[in-house]
């Protein structure tokens, strides 16, 4: 039961507003974890912190891979200096490096990739190109290699293309490869966004309301895809979702947030029957409250 | 209205337009990617003119005499060194301000422009300088009589041909290479590109490097053609190229090229047939006219409201 992601005491302040207050949970390797909660509970804020969109005010987010090497995501984003950094020149240098060059790109390279609730594709590029852009680690980004079309460049490019086709096929988008991403139908755009995230080679795939706006058939397909990503491609999935049917069906763990705090977490059926969760969702009737 | 004057002015206009286009590309790419107007870009062109003279002198001292080789070497060296200027400029003046207000880098760009002008004035002197014109000779077309001809110098041909090659390579680079693809992605959604692991700072640096080397091509070729320059030449041509970029639709690469050509042709035909003194007035009136009917420029797309 090794955990891939450990979130500990995560706090996010926007001015005087405490959006997250000491959030903590673990995500086991190869599991599907759902983050649920009423609107404004802080689910998306957690995601934004995980993927480097925001820099949390305090707390720790660690990503540990199978060999036990762990990465501190907050440090990567250029977290503040600590007193113990002064003792070790190496830690100091690393902190300084992350301060200068750190940012969301490093979180993606560490293996956390996300999709958005309101789809953010590169709308004026083809679906295929969208998938190529995500493969930064694979393609040759040398300024001149592309113009001179060197062998290394062509090999890298061919590999990236192959992988892009693989994921287009996987999500049944092959016939849309050369269409502009912005022209695709809504459901297809959603799939393309997940395909693009997979092209970036994630260890932790964060899906923000992947079923929003999908019809029941599409939702069923989506849940099959998510399960097969986990089984066949070794991806750990973390998702925010309002469709409780989907959540109960595919997740191994459910984390319930309310007012920026974790109020319950555990197996889906246990969370479903938890009175605290019901209260957060439905409210307590006036009479009973007294 | 004489046929010969018209053709002659069209030729001159194409040459001028190519130069504007080469510089406008730098404005439009930087605007497209970080939404700022790099006011120091005209001065990068001026730096390129000085570097051309310096490399020309140095290579001649080394004993290279053949003009084609000399032209090629000077062009490549100037491009490389001007690119270095572009890169450092971005690192020093714009990157530290990336996350501040939108206007901060604009002010910083004006400062950079002043610094470059005065650095050149102090180090090279305020007087106008010159290089020998390397490319001599011309061809005459439609010749019938002593005043009836269209003259095209070899230097003009070189400018247009090099501009076309440079623009085509740039276009190919943007459309078909991995880094060009990353560039387009960053232009559309910088944050999303970063979240996918694209090194956005590197992409932005590359855009400055490319913009500067395109301006260097213009600077070198114009210096070969006219042979005279001073520390202030970047200002006027910078404003003109910026106008060309806006005319074509800022942010759009083909727009910058088209805008450059339209502006160059309009200026040159106006000065041939109406008045040389008012050519700038005409050029800017053209800009105003176009912007009234197409507010986002000739090839620019109107800003789509993000839902």
Assess if residue A100 is contained within a domain: yes
Q: In this predicted structure, what is the pLDDT of residue B302?
A: 67
Q: Mapping DSSP to helix (H, G, I), strand (E, B) and coil, where does residue A287 land?
A: helix
Q: What is the DSSP string of A205-268?
A: EEEESTTTT--HHHHHHHHHHHHHHHHHH--EEEEE-S-HHHHHHH-SEEEEEETTEEEEEE-H
Residue A39: which pLDDT band, with cuts at 50, 70 and 90?
confident
Query: How far from each other are the two terminal CA atoms of chain B, in whole angstroms?
Result: 54
Of A52, A109, A124, the CB nearest to B188: A124
Domain co-membership, A92 together with A221: yes
Here the ipTM equals 0.84
pLDDT in tens, B285-301: 988 998 899 888 888 87
Residue B31: which pLDDT band, with cuts at 50, 70 and 90?
very high
Sheet-wide strand order for A253-258: A112-114, A204-208, A236-240, A32-36, A253-258, A261-266
Domain co-membership, A128 together with A59: no
Of B173, B176, B196, the CB nearest to A108: B196
Within 8 A by CB and 6+ apart from A53, the residues are A47, A104, A114, B191, B195
CA distance A105 to chain B (A): 4
CA distance A87 to chain B (A): 28
Domain co-membership, A65 together with A140: no
Partner-chain contact B195 A122, CB within 8 Å = no
Residue B186: which pLDDT band, with cuts at 50, 70 and 90?
very high
Q: In this predicted structure, what is the pLDDT of residue A289?
A: 44
In A29-127, at which residue ranges do the beta strands (DSSP E only) sit? 32-36, 58-64, 70-72, 112-114
CA distance B195 to chain A (A): 5
Residue B145: which pLDDT band, with cuts at 50, 70 and 90?
confident
Say how many domains are in chain A: 2
Domain co-membership, A128 together with A179: yes
Q: In this predicted structure, what is the pLDDT of residue A101?
A: 67
Of A108, A129, A143, the CB nearest to B181: A129
> A201, A219, A239 — which closes off a domain?
A201
Domain co-membership, A103 together with A209: yes
> A201, A230, A261 — which closes off a domain?
A201
For helices B233-248 and B104-124, the axis angle rounded to 10 degrees is 150
Query: Can you tell me the distance from the alpha carbon of A137 to that of B263, in angstroms, rounded to the nearest whole number?
Result: 42
Across B20-48, average pLDDT: 94
Assess if residue A118 is contained within a domain: no
Partner-chain contact B177 A103, CB within 8 Å = no
| Residues from chain B contacting residue A124 (CB–CB below 8 Å) | 184, 188
Residue B306: which pLDDT band, with cuts at 50, 70 and 90?
very low
Assess if residue A265 is contained within a domain: yes
Query: Mean pLDDT for chain A?
Result: 85
Pairing of strands A253-258, A32-36: parallel
Query: Can you tell me the distance from the alpha carbon of B160 to that of B254, in angstroms, rounded to the nearest whole number?
Result: 16
Domain co-membership, A49 together with A176: no
- A277's enclosing H/E stretch is helix A275-282
Are A54 and A45 in contact by the 8 Å Cβ rule? The answer is: yes
pLDDT in tens, B57-111: 999 999 888 888 999 999 999 999 999 999 999 999 998 888 888 889 999 999 9
pLDDT in tens, A98-155: 776 666 777 788 888 999 988 899 998 999 999 999 887 777 777 777 778 888 888 8
In chain B, at which residue ranges do the beta strands (DSSP E only) sit? 129-130, 138-141, 150-153, 228-229
Domain co-membership, A238 together with A175: no
Assess if residue A116 is contained within a domain: no
Within 8 A by CB and 6+ apart from B97, the residues are B104, B105, B108
- pTM equals 0.88
Q: In this predicted structure, what is the pLDDT of residue B307?
A: 40
CATH code at position A273: 3.40.50.300
Topology given in CATH for the domain delimited by B3-293: ABC transporter involved in vitamin B12 uptake, BtuC (1.10.3470)
Residue ranges making up the domain that contains A245: 3-111+202-289
Boundaries of every domain in chain B: 3-293
Residue B305: which pLDDT band, with cuts at 50, 70 and 90?
very low
Domain co-membership, A103 together with A14: yes
Partner-chain contact B193 A113, CB within 8 Å = no
Token pair 């206009």 is at which residue? B13
Query: Can you tell me the distance from the alpha carbon of B162 to that of B152, in angstroms, rounded to the nearest whole number?
Result: 15
The closest alpha carbon to B128, from B21, B13, B49, belongs to B49
> A172, A201, A230 — which closes off a domain?
A201
Separation in Å, CA B246 to CA A271, B165, B249:
58, 23, 5
Query: Can you tell me the distance from the alpha carbon of B292 to that of B290, in angstroms, rounded to the nearest whole number?
Result: 5
Q: In this predicted structure, what is the pLDDT of residue A79?
A: 67
Domain co-membership, A68 together with A80: yes
Are B257 and B21 in contact by the 8 Å Cβ rule? The answer is: yes
Domain co-membership, A107 together with A206: yes
């Amino acid at each position: 039961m090794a955990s891939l992601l450990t979130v500990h005491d995560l706090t996010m302040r926007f001015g005087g507003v405490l959006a997250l207050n000491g959030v903590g949970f673990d995500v086991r390797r190869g599991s599907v974890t759902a983050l649920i909660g009423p609107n404004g509970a802080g689910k998306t804020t957690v995601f934004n912190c995980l993927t480097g969109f925001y820099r949390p005010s305090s707390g720790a987010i660690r990503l540990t891979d199978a060999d036990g090497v762990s990465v501190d995501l907050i440090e990567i984003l250029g977290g503040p200096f600590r007193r113990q950094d002064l003792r070790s020149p190496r830690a100091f240098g690393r902190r300084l490096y992350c301060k200068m060059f750190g940012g969301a790109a490093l979180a993606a390279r560490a293996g956390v990739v996300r999709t958005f609730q309101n789809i953010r594709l590169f709308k004026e590029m083809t679906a295929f190109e969208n998938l190529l852009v995500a493969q930064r680690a694979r393609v040759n980004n040398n300024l001149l290699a592309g113009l001179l079309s060197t062998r290394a460049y062509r090999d890298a490019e061919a590999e990236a293309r192959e992988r892009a086709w693989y994921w287009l096929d996987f999500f049944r988008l092959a016939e849309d490869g050369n269409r502009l991403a912005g022209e695709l139908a809504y459901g297809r755009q959603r799939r393309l966004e997940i395909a693009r995230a997979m092209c970036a080679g994630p260890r932790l795939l964060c899906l923000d309301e992947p079923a929003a706006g999908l019809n029941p058939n599409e939702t069923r397909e989506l849940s099959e895809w998510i399960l097969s990503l986990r089984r066949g491609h070794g991806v750990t999935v973390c998702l925010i979702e309002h469709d409780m049917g989907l959540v109960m069906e595919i997740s191994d763990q459910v984390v319930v947030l309310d007012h920026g705090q974790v109020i319950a977490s555990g197996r889906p059926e246990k969370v479903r029957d938890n009175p605290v969760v019901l209260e957060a969702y439905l409210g307590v009737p006036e009479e009973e409250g007294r | 209205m004489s046929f010969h004057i018209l053709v002659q002015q069209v030729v001159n206009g194409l040459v001028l337009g190519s130069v504007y286009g080469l510089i406008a590309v730098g404005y439009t790419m930087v605007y497209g990617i970080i939404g700022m107007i790099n006011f120091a870009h005209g001065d990068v062109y001026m730096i390129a003119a000085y570097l051309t003279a310096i490399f020309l002198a140095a290579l001649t001292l080394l004993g290279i005499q053949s003009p084609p080789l000399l032209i090629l070497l000077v062009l490549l060296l100037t491009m490389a060194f001007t690119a270095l200027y572009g890169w450092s400029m971005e690192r020093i003046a714009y990157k530290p301000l990336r996350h501040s207000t939108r206007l901060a880098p604009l002010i910083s760009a004006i400062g950079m422009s002043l610094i470059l002008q005065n650095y050149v004035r102090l180090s090279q002197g305020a007087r106008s300088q010159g290089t020998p014109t390397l490319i001599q000779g011309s061809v005459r077309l439609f010749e019938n009589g002593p005043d009836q001809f269209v003259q095209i110098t070899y230097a003009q041909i070189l400018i247009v041909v090099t501009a076309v090659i440079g623009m085509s390579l740039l276009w190919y680079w943007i459309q078909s290479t991995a880094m060009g693809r990353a560039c387009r992605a960053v232009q559309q959604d910088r944050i999303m590109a970063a979240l996918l692991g694209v090194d956005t700072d590197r992409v932005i640096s590359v855009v400055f490097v490319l913009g500067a080397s395109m301006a260097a091509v213009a600077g070198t070729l114009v210096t070969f053609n006219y042979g005279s320059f001073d520390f202030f030449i970047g200002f006027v041509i910078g404003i003109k190229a910026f106008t060309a970029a806006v005319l074509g639709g800022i942010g759009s690469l083909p727009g910058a090229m088209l805008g450059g050509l339209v502006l160059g042709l309009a200026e040159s035909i106006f000065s041939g047939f109406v008045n040389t003194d008012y050519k700038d007035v005409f050029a800017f009136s053209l800009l105003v006219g176009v912007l009234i009917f197409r507010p986002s420029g000739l090839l620019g797309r109107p800003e789509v409201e993000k839902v």
